[in-house]
Amino acid sequence: MISNLPDRIFLCGFMGAGKSLIGHKLAEKLERTFLDLDDKIEEKAGQSIPEIFDETGEAGFRTLERRALQEVIREFEGVVALGGGSLQNQHMVDHIKLNGLLVFIETPISVILDRISEDQNRPLLLDEEGNPKDRAQLKEELTALYEQRLPLYQQAVITISNEGQNPDKIVQTLLKKIRNHVEYY
Ligand code: S3P
């Protein structure tokens, strides 16, 4: 057990970084509740993420995402896996950091591409007809998006790389980093 834990631990990082899996395992170790922000958005909307994108576009999804996050900050305590785009701007980063401990799960874009390019549940990976974008286009688009988001992810208080390590090992290292952080401050 770690005493003096912040009320919330937020995990950020790109799609396919393993935020949900690591979040689950971390919450178990800390004996805290786990929440996946994407699940909360779907539950509140009564629709899947692809359906929300279909109906309201990305802008509509981002509005729901902001509202869900506000609700989490008001009502939830525990470990939260954010979506890859939840850190929408500097204001959001500041707000999250005021309300919990922000952790960045760092994964090279090459690993991400291998992991997620076939995923049908992530609308940003699909073309207008709902088919997977071709690999070259996807690589170009996701690399640009990753670079755009990186300065926001990098403001996390703790960064952990998940390259070449199994999730249990990552969680072990993360627990040490959290303990050091909490004890120091
Ligand atoms: C998104 C990431 C997804 C989900 C939505 C948009 C993004 O979450 O919120 O499809 O903009 O990167 P994951 O990071 O859990 O895949």
Q: What is the pLDDT of residues 139-155, one digit of tens each?
A: 999 999 999 999 999 99
- pLDDT for 66 equals 97
**What tokens does 37 get?**
């922000």
Q: Which atom of ligand 1 is nearest to the CA of 85?
A: 11
The per-residue pLDDT for 166 is: 92
What is the model's pLDDT at position 135?
A: 86
Q: What is the mean pLDDT of residues 2-24?
A: 95
Could you tell me the residue ranges of all domains in the chain?
8-184
Which residues contact residue 155 at a Cβ distance below 8 angstroms, ignoring those fewer than 6 apart? 93, 97, 102
Contact 15, 46 (CB under 8 A): no
What is the spatial distance between Cα 150 and Cα 115, in angstroms, rounded to a whole number? Answer: 19
d(CA 15, CA 104): 12
CATH code assigned to 8-184: 3.40.50.300
Residue 73 has pLDDT above 90, yes or no: yes
- Of 3-7, 32-36, 97-101, 161-165, the range with the lowest mean pLDDT is 161-165
- Residue of 34, 38, 61 to mutate, ligand 1, most atoms within 8 A of C-beta: 38
Ligand 1 atom showing the smallest separation from residue 119 Cα? 16
